[in-house]
Amino acid sequence: MKIKELKNKKVLILGIGREGVDSFVFLRHIFPKQVLFIADKKKFEDLSVDTKKLLKDKKVELFLGEDYLRNIKGFDIIIKSPGILLSSIKKYLSKRTKVTSQTELFFDNCPGMIIGITGTKGKSTTSSLIYSVLKEAGMKSYLVGNIETPSLSFLLNAKKEDIFVYELSSHQLQSLEKSPHIGLFLNVYLEHLDYYKNFKEYFLAKANIVKYQKKDDYFVFNSKIKEIKNLAEKAKSKKIEINADDFSKFLKNNQEFLEITHIDNLVAALNVFKILGIKEEKIIKAFKKFKRPAHRLEFIGEYNGIRFYDDSISTIPEAAIFALDSLGNDVETLIVGGFDRGIKHGKLAERIVKSKVKNLILFNPSGERILKEVEKREGKVKHVFVGNMEDAVKKCFQKTSAGKICLLSPASPSFGTFVDYKDRGEQFKKFIIKYGK
C-alpha cells in the first residue's frame, strides 16, 4: 500500500506503543489536516507523559480502555501493531477494511535497500553487527524494526542509496507481501505459541522473509534446519547457505571475534558483507568496536576474578544451548529457569551434562523440570533453588571459581518473578556490582 492511498481515508492506528506513536508522528507530518483515529487497551492516564502530550492533537479521536476493540468498526484502513492478534480483531472488520502494519507500509514505500534479518534467536545481535560494519564502511545505513527503532518516520528523508538493516519478528513478517532485497533466516525454534496456533503457523509467518523475493535478491539461510532448507528450495532468489567453511581463513585469523555471536550468525553476517563488497579491513575494524545489545550474551565484566554474562533474552532451551556453545567450557555456573510454558528441556539437559558446568542456580517453576532432566542423564552438577535475583547472584560469587564464567541464560520467560527479560537482566547487573569487589 502506497502512503498516498491513506489520504482522506478513515485511518485507525491500532496500538499506541512504540510503533503506534511513530506511525502517528509520520502520518501527522504527511497529512497535517487529516483526522486520525487511535485505539489502545490502555487508559489515557496509563500512557506515558510524552504520548499524552502528542495525543492532545485536536485532529485525533481516541478509543481507549478494555473495550477498545468494539470501536474499530467502519474504518477504511487499520495500521495494526505487531503484538495485537489478527484473530482478535477479525470479527470487528468490514469487508472494505484493509489491515496493514508499519512494517508493510515501510516495505511498500522504501526507496532504498532493505536487509531483513529474522530467526527465533540471535537476530538482534546479527542486525546490530551488520549495521555497525556498514556504518564503518561509510554506507548510509539505518538500524530499524524489532530492535526497538520504529521504521516509518525514516521514510520522510529516505533516499535510493540508503540501506535499512531491518530486524524482523514473526509478528512483523506475518502480513508482508514483499520481501527484503537481502533476507537472512538464521534459525527457527518452538516459540510464541501464545500468539500462533502451532509451530507451522509461526514458521509460515517467518517464511515471508523470502516468499516474495525475486531472482536478483539474495537469501542467506541456515540449511541445518530442515524447515528452512525446504523453504530455500522454493526460493526464486540467489541462495547462499550459511557455511563456516566459506570464511575459514577469516575465522582462523580472527578468532577473537568468535564470541560476538553464534558462529552461524557471524557467518550469515559475513555473507552480507561479501554481497555488498565490503573490504576485510573495514569488517575487522567494526568488529573490534562492536558491543552486543543489552541482555544478549552481554559481557557485564569481571568481578572477583569471575566473568559474568547476561543472556536474559534467553526464553527457550535452544537459546541457553546457543549461549553454552558460544562461551565454551569456561562456563562453570549457569542461572536457569523461570516461568514454565511446558516446553521440553531434554536437549538443554543433554548440553548441560556434556558441558563443564558445575553449578546450576535454579528459578522455579521450570527450574525443577530442568533439574529432573539433568538428573535423568546422571549429570554431576550441584544445584540450588532461589526465589530472587539477589540470592542468585550471591550464590554465583560463592560457587564460581576465579577465571571461570557465570552465565545468566534462563531458557524460560521472566513472567512472575520479574517484569520482563530486561528487568531480569538489570537486576542481575545491579547485584553483581553490589556484591562484586
Portions of the chain given CATH number 3.40.1190.10: 106-289
* Per-residue model confidence as pLDDT tens digits over 64-116: 998 888 888 889 999 999 888 888 888 888 888 999 999 999 999 999 999 99
pLDDT at 414: 92
Residues whose CB falls within 8 Å of the CB of residue 314, separated by 6 or more in sequence, listed in order: 121, 320, 322, 323, 409, 410, 411
Confidence class for position 5, pLDDT limits 50, 70, 90: very high
Averaged pLDDT, 119-136: 95
pLDDT at 378: 83
Rounded to the nearest 5°, which phi and psi values hold at 16? -115, 45
Q: Is the pLDDT of residue 59 over 70?
A: yes
Portions of the chain given CATH number 3.90.190.20: 298-435
Mean per-residue pLDDT over the chain, rounded? 93
Fold of 298-435: Protein-Tyrosine Phosphatase; Chain A (3.90.190)
Cα distance from N-terminal residue to C-terminal residue, the chain? 57
pLDDT at 192: 67
DSSP 361-400: EEETTHHHHHHHHHHHTT---EEEEESSHHHHHHHHHHHP
CB of 169 within 8 A of CB of 146? Answer: yes
Strand duo 11-14 + 382-386: pairing: unpaired
CB of 142 within 8 A of CB of 162? Answer: yes
**Angle in degrees, CA 273, 276, 281, rounded to 5:** 50
* Per-residue model confidence as pLDDT tens digits over 258-297: 888 889 999 999 999 999 999 999 999 999 999 888 999 9
Query: Does residue 105 or residue 256 have the better pLDDT?
Result: 105
Biggest CA pair distance of the chain:
69
pLDDT at 230: 97
Length of the chain: 437
Confidence class for position 194, pLDDT limits 50, 70, 90: low
Q: What percent of the chain has pLDDT over 70?
A: 99
pLDDT at 190: 75
Q: Which CATH superfamily is domain 3-100 in?
A: NAD(P)-binding Rossmann-like Domain (3.40.50.720)
DSSP 239-270: EEE--GGGGHHHHHHTGGGTTSS-HHHHHHHH
Q: Is the pLDDT of residue 118 over 70?
A: yes
Q: Dig out the grid coordinates for 150 from the structure.
A: 520504529
Rounded to the nearest 5°, which phi and psi values hold at 78? -120, 125
Query: Does residue 342 or residue 386 have the better pLDDT?
Result: 386
pLDDT at 196: 78
Residues whose CB falls within 8 Å of the CB of residue 62, separated by 6 or more in sequence, listed in order: 37, 38, 39, 44, 55
Q: Is the pLDDT of residue 252 over 80?
A: yes
Q: Dig out the grid coordinates for 15 from the structure.
A: 496500538
Portions of the chain given CATH number 3.40.50.720: 3-100
Fold of 106-289: UDP-N-acetylmuramoyl-L-alanine:D-glutamate ligase (3.40.1190)
Enumerate the β-bridge partners of residue 185: 118, 221
Say whether 78 sits in a helix, a strand or coil. Answer: strand
Q: What percent of the chain has pLDDT over 90?
A: 80
pLDDT at 193: 64
pLDDT at 345: 93
